[in-house]
Structure 1
Amino acid sequence: MRLVIDGQRLTAERTGVGRCLESLLAEWALTGLPLAETLVVLRDPGGRNRVPLIDGLSTKVVGERWSGLAWEWFGLARELRPDDLLFAPANLVPWPWRGRTVLVIYDTLPWVVPESFPRLVRWRFGWRYRLAAHQADRILVPSQATAHDVARVHGVPSERIRVTYPGPEPEFRPLARDSPEVIEARRHVGVESSPYFLFVGKRSRRRNVPAILQAFASHRQAHPGHRLVFVGPDDPGDLPGPADGTIRAGHVAEPILRSLLAGAIALLYPSDYEGFGLPVVEALASGCPVVTLRNSALVEAGGDAPWYLDSADAPALAVALETLSTSEEERRKCIARGFDHVAQFSRSQFAREVKDELIRAASSSLIST
């Protein structure tokens, strides 16, 4: 039996799902693959650089110029043999595939916050997510909140769902603000010596960027030297420019991201819904306070460490910005609570739990045949 991994999200640029899969592969390179023969099917040739070179692990690029749906149904599905075990780490399973499958569902966004998506997008992906949930033998989710949502939204029995908490990579750690790594990260994005707040990820509607900008504009009246750095896809949409203290950094290399978190006043992540919120965990592991909302899985990711708000209210956000930038005592409390909380999450534990589920799925398949 082979393990075949959907590697569509492994691309030249490291983003969400791709980062999680890459961390699994990196850990399995150290501890052993779930199955001796493992194939990662890629769409982007640049994804090869994200796959470790170890015995038993191979890659194949198919359908490089195909659409996502065509790649999934006619690229990935074509590479699967009837006795393979498919690991689908990106919410979707090829419709033609009827074999053994372990699926990862990160969230139920189209149903929980439908206003965040155009109706056409909800239609294109919603039915495919639900079909994948019913096709899979096992479903891995990143939080108890998401486990509840998947069972409720997709009607999946709870015994088919397993919570496996993602963990930060070991390199996310505190650094002194005058360390060479932080100084280089500052230089790279153009903040130099200015104190700065950080936003990481897509500027999705649910992440309340307008409220962040309004709060920062208010904060900057008293602190004109402060900056607000946006890291992640440079999605269409207006942002104030450097004259207003706002910096678009776009995608940055992983060492730059880690150093930016270590040097920031706080991570601003006031999201209306998250399936987990890995940036929250990575920030806390880096000694960076977090401002977020008390909802969904964010309370699992953050524990008692973040500065929680009940809604993305700009004046309340501004109070958080002011306090965290002026009160060292409050920052120390947040940082200490963060270190205590993130001690329960680790990349190695995440990889071990996912591996165990894949091995169980393979074993049950052998027994059933």
Structure 2
Amino acid sequence: MKIAYDAKRFFHNTSGLGNYSRDLVRILSRYFPENEYLLLNKNKSERGADILERAGVRFVETSKGQMSRQFKMGKDAQRTGADIFHGLSGELPLRWDQKPIKKALTIHDLIFVRYPQYYSFFDRKIHFWKFRKAAGSADRIIAISEQTKRDIVQFLKVPESRVEVIYQGCHQAFKEQQSDGFIAETKEKFRLPERFILNVGTIEERKNLLNVVRALKDTGIPLVVVGKKTKYFKKVERFIQQNKIEVQFLEGVSMDELAVLYKLAEIFIYPSFFEGFGIPVIEALFSGTVVITSNTSCLPEAGGPDSMYIDPGNPLDIAAKIKFLWENKAERKRRADKGFSFVQKFSDEPIARQLMDFYEKIIS
């Protein structure tokens, strides 16, 4: 089987869609090396270079020019003789020639529909048009959670039979044990507190960091935050300064260093109002760290039965759950151990097999 991918995110996104794209090709090429995996883009980068070295994985330079991804990439894929073209980020090319090729699509979320206030009018319209057009032309669609599947059926009017839920995993670094020396170096580099709770994710309104710092007021519990700052950061920063809360914001954190941060944290907290899936929850569980997350959207799917759930709009509820786990080592360990068992369903091999079954259904 020859599968062509829109590899823009694979080469040029550092997180989110980029991690999904790289992990998908990585695990498929590992467990099904007999296939060809073609990464189509106008150019490549050092990102994902180790995956490109694998047998069966190769870069295909596509036509250049404005809007070439929309109007030429599909025909470029057909010229390679690919059996399937897979759009990894909710989009498919708009133009194709007569040569047969099956079309697969991954949709991560429809947050721009559910939370329009976080997007400009223009972005909402463009996103919705592109997603609906791609969903209409795809032979089959991957939703990364049951929540996303429900949204695809409801908002894009796609028959449920054409949508399959295949969860995503996470980077291999979170499944490995870093050396004692590297752990010590990371602690020293970032001058980490002896005990802390961790939050990972873009510092934006939807991710709800402000309610975490509100919950930490007067507790003396240190918080470490890893994430890109947006305008919302100023609001969070003001509250921290006014209330003298111990918060450390880290930047330039490598994947291996992030894996150490998860392992060192007493608690990982992820109070987002809405997610397509919530990969940081999976990363924390693979790291053996107890999770507090929201009782909304898909987050209980990612967190499983032994994570602790909060109302993300209620700082008092968040504070009570943090204090309970912070003060109860045995309960932290019990939930972390159960969470580690639960998260094995998001391991590479079962996900790779589900993806290959998905492709085989398209071909057949």
Q: TM-score range by the shorter chain?
A: 0.7 to 0.9
In the alignment, is the contact (CA less than 8 A) between 1:182 and 1:262 conserved in 2? Answer: no
Unaligned runs of 5+ in 1: 365-369
**1:73-88 matches, cutoff 5 A:** 73-74=70-71, 76-77=73-74, 79-81=76-78, 84=82, 85-88=84-87
Q: Which residue of 2 aligns with 1:143?
A: 145
Q: Deviations for 1:32-61, whole angstroms, at most 9, x for unmatched residues? A: 347336344365523352533123321145
**1:105-144 matches, cutoff 5 A:** 105-144=107-146
1:341 and 2:342 are equivalent in the alignment = yes
1:354 and 2:355 are equivalent in the alignment = yes
Give me the TM-score of the superposition, normalised by structure 1. Answer: 0.85
1:291 and 2:286 are equivalent in the alignment = no
How far residue 356 of structure 1 moved from its aligned partner, in angstroms, is 2.4
How many residue pairs end up in the alignment?
353
Counterparts of 2:227 and 2:151 in 1: how far apart (Å)? 27
Unaligned runs of 5+ in 2: none
1:228 and 2:223 are equivalent in the alignment = yes
How far residue 351 of structure 1 moved from its aligned partner, in angstroms, is 1.8
Q: Which residue of 2 aligns with 1:367?
A: none
SS of residue in 1 equivalent to 2:215: helix
Q: Deviations for 1:236-263, whole angstroms, at most 9, x for unmatched residues? A: 4325389753222235221111111111
Question: Do the aligned partners of residues 292 and 63 (structure 1) sit closer, same or farther apart at CA in structure 2, a change above 3 Å counting?
Answer: farther
Name the aligned partner's letter for residue 200 of structure 2. V
Counterparts of 2:116 and 2:256 in 1: how far apart (Å)? 35
In the alignment, is the contact (CA less than 8 A) between 2:31 and 2:352 conserved in 1? Answer: no
Question: Do the aligned partners of residues 287 and 122 (structure 1) sit closer, same or farther apart at CA in structure 2, a change above 3 Å counting?
Answer: same
What root-mean-square deviation, in Å, do the aligned CA atoms of Structure 1 and Structure 2 show?
2.8
Q: Which residue of 2 aligns with 1:92?
A: 91
Q: Which residue of 1 aligns with 2:10?
A: 10
Q: Which residue of 1 aligns with 2:158?
A: 156
**1:273-284 matches, cutoff 5 A:** 273-284=274-285
Counterparts of 1:306 and 1:203 in 2: how far apart (Å)? 22
Counterparts of 1:48 and 1:331 in 2: how far apart (Å)? 35
Counterparts of 2:68 and 2:285 in 1: how far apart (Å)? 37
How far residue 111 of structure 1 moved from its aligned partner, in angstroms, is 1.5
Counterparts of 1:279 and 1:253 in 2: how far apart (Å)? 15
Deviating above 4 A after TM superposition, structure 1's stretches of 4 or more consecutive aligned residues are 61-64, 173-176, 241-244
Name the aligned partner's letter for residue 253 of structure 2. V
Name the aligned partner's letter for residue 16 of structure 1. G
Counterparts of 1:349 and 1:318 in 2: how far apart (Å)? 37
In the alignment, is the contact (CA less than 8 A) between 1:287 and 1:335 conserved in 2? Answer: yes
Name the aligned partner's letter for residue 46 of structure 2. G
Question: Do the aligned partners of residues 133 and 342 (structure 1) sit closer, same or farther apart at CA in structure 2, a change above 3 Å counting?
Answer: same
Give me the TM-score of the superposition, normalised by structure 2. Answer: 0.86
SS of residue in 2 equivalent to 1:127: helix
How far residue 15 of structure 1 moved from its aligned partner, in angstroms, is 0.4
Question: Do the aligned partners of residues 323 and 97 (structure 1) sit closer, same or farther apart at CA in structure 2, a change above 3 Å counting?
Answer: farther
Q: Deviations for 1:275-307, whole angstroms, at most 9, x for unmatched residues? A: 211211121121111111112111111111221
In the alignment, is the contact (CA less than 8 A) between 1:35 and 1:359 conserved in 2? Answer: no
Q: Which residue of 1 aligns with 2:304?
A: 303
Counterparts of 1:324 and 1:47 in 2: how far apart (Å)? 38
In the alignment, is the contact (CA less than 8 A) between 2:22 and 2:48 conserved in 1? Answer: no
Sequence identity percentage: 24
SS of residue in 2 equivalent to 1:344: helix
